[in-house]
Amino acid sequence: MSHPLELLILETVQLGGSLVFLSDQAPSTLPVWTGSLQKHFAAEIPFVVRRAKDLTNKRFATRPEDLVLFFKEQESLLPQMESLLSGQRALLGTDAARLTDSWDFIFSDMTMELWETLLQNLRRQWDQASVLQGLPGEHQTPCLFLDRDNVVVKDVPYNKDPKAVVLMPGIAELINRAHARGWWVALVTNQSGLGRGRITWDEYQSVHQQMLRLLAEQKAWIDDCEWSAFISESGTQRGRLLAGMRKPRNGMFLKINDTLKVNMSRSVMVGDSASDLKAAYAAGVKSLYLLASDQTAKQEESLKGYRALHPDFRYITVQSLEEISL
C-alpha cells in the first residue's frame, strides 16, 4: 500500500510543480532527505532549497503547483511565510492534532527511514504513472478568440486615450452570437507598447475598461483576456520577459485554454495579421479568419510561406465580421 505522500509527490510533478524545502530552522538532516531524492530520481523530481529571505525579498516565489515541505522544527516559520506561499503545504513528522487551516497535509508518521522507503516505492511506480485527469466535461466548449486592434476596436497605435476607443462594426453581434451558442470568448492581444514603456499599465487598463464598457452597452462581454508586453528589442525589463506569450507564439492561447478548458480544434480565431493566425494554429485552433484591412495583401504574402511549411494550415479572408461562421 502506497504512502499518501507518494501520490502527492507524483501529482506535484505531473502538474509541473517542484518540491520546495526551506533551509531556515531545518533539521541538520535536511541534506540527507534531499540527497535521497537525488539518489533515486536525479533531476526527475525537481526540488529546491530556499531561505525564507528569498521569498520575503521576492527573489523566489512558489507556484500553486508546488509542494512546500516543512519539518516539525519549522512549524513556527509558517505564520511569517503564509502570505508568501502559493503552493500546497505539507508538514512532516509532527502531531496531526495540530491541524489548522494553514496546513493542507500533515504526515505525522514521516521519518527519514520511511522517506527512503517511500522514494524507493515511488521509483518503482514512476514509469507506469498515468496522466492526470481533469474534471469530466473539460475541453468540450469552443472559444471565439479575438485579436484586439482592428478586430474588437479600431486600431489606434499605442492608444492610451479611452476617448479614442471605437468598436469595430459587428463585433458586439459576433461576440453575442458566440455566447448564444454557449461558447467562450477570449481576447489575445500583443501590447508591445507596455514592454517598450510607450504606455503605462494605468493607460492600458483605462482603454481596456472603456472597450468593455462599450461592449456592455450592447450586452456583450469577454470571458478571459491575455495581453503580451513582450518585444524583443525592448529597453525595459518587463518587455524582455515571456517571449512565448507574444503572437505568433501560442502562449496566450495555451494560458486561456488552461483556465477555460477549451475545445481548441473547434474554436475560431479572428485576427487582422498573419501572426494572429499562426499563433492560433500553433495552439490547435482550426478555423482561422483574416479580417481585411489595408495590410491584408502583406499579411497574405507572409502566410504563403507559412502554408508551405504547414500543409493543413487554412484560413479565410473576410471583409466584415458578419461573414464569420461559428
Residues at the interface with Mg ion (CB under 5 A)? 147, 149-150, 272
First to last CA, the chain: 50
Q: How far is the CB of 168 from Mg ion (least distance, A)?
A: 10
Catalytic-role residue among 104, 109, 149, 272: 149
Cis peptide before 157 (omega within 30 of 0): no
Residue 84 or residue 156: which is nearer to Mg ion going by CB? Answer: 156
Catalytic-role residue among 147, 224, 272, 276: 147
Q: Could you confirm whether 127 is annotated as catalytic?
A: no
Q: How far apart are CA 281 and CA 313, in angstroms?
A: 7
Q: How far is the CB of 301 from Mg ion (least distance, A)?
A: 17
Residue 89 or residue 148: which is nearer to Mg ion going by CB? Answer: 148
For 21-32, letters b (16+ CB in 10 Å) and e give bbeeebeeebee
Residue 88 or residue 150: which is nearer to Mg ion going by CB? Answer: 150
Phi and psi torsions of 178, nearest 5°:
-65, -45
Residue 20 or residue 175: which is nearer to Mg ion going by CB? Answer: 175
Q: Which amino acid is at 298?
A: K
The residue sitting closest to Mg ion, measured at its beta carbon, is 149
Q: How far apart are CA 269 and CA 186, in angstroms?
A: 10
CA 156-157-160 angle, 5° bins: 75
Q: How far is the CB of 190 from Mg ion (least distance, A)?
A: 8
Q: How far is the CB of 284 from Mg ion (least distance, A)?
A: 21
Q: How far apart are CA 22 and CA 50, in angstroms?
A: 5
Q: Could you confirm whether 202 is annotated as catalytic?
A: no
Catalytic machinery residues: 147, 149
